Amino acid sequence: MPNYWLFKSEPDTWSWEQQKAKGKAGEEWTGVRNYQARNFMRAMKVGEKGFFYHSNEGREVVGIVEVCALAHRDSTADVDTWECVNIRAVADVPRHVTLDEIKADPKLKDMVLVNNSRLSVQPVSESEFRHICKLGGAKI
């Protein structure tokens, strides 16, 4: 069974438009310095899908990404402790789904984003993934 994920980025640091511009090659998801988030990336498999989420500014799901390279040393890290995956943009979420909307939806009450919003890389259940895609009009 595939896993689904959510990747958070501040749009003024790394935006959805920048992610899309990387094309099929994708980009390293660097800079994560949290052991739990790193361990989630270690568990990812190529081809698994996730949401690209703009944090701080916007606070909304804006796109769908796919893991395109397994966990490897984060090129921005000074030590081998930190790893990252590479992700590529797959599709826009035509109608961005906001954090307020997610928090207000009873079907999403158990989502990690609702209960641990500070975690920069987090799992998403298949039902949560499908529901948010439906809310946002995303075709997957």
Q: What is the domain-level CATH number for residue 13?
A: 3.10.590.10
Tell me if 79 is assigned to some domain: yes
pLDDT band of residue 117 (cuts 50, 70, 90) is confident
Q: Is 31 helix (H, G, I), strand (E, B) or coil?
A: coil
Q: Does 140 fall in a domain?
A: no
Distance CA 111, CA 128 (A): 7
Closest C-alpha to 9, from 47, 67, 62, 88: 62
Q: What percent of the chain has pLDDT above 90?
A: 93
Count of domains for the chain: 1
Phi/psi of residue 27, each to 5°?
Answer: -155, 150
Give residue 139's identity as a one-letter amino acid code. K
Backbone angles phi, psi at 13, to 5 degrees: -95, -50
Q: How confident is the model at residue 1 (pLDDT cuts 50, 70, 90)?
A: low
Cα–Cα distance measured from residue 30 to residue 140, given in angstroms and rounded to the nearest whole number: 26
3-state secondary structure of 8: strand
Range of the domain at 54: 4-134
In a domain, 139, yes or no: no
The mean of the pLDDT values for the chain is 96
pLDDT (tens digit per residue) in 48-102: 999 999 998 899 999 999 999 999 999 999 999 999 999 999 999 999 999 999 9
Query: Which tens digit of pLDDT belongs to each residue from 96-113?
Result: 999 999 999 999 999 999
Tokens representing 41?
């990336």
Strand (E) or helix (H) holding 4: strand 4-9
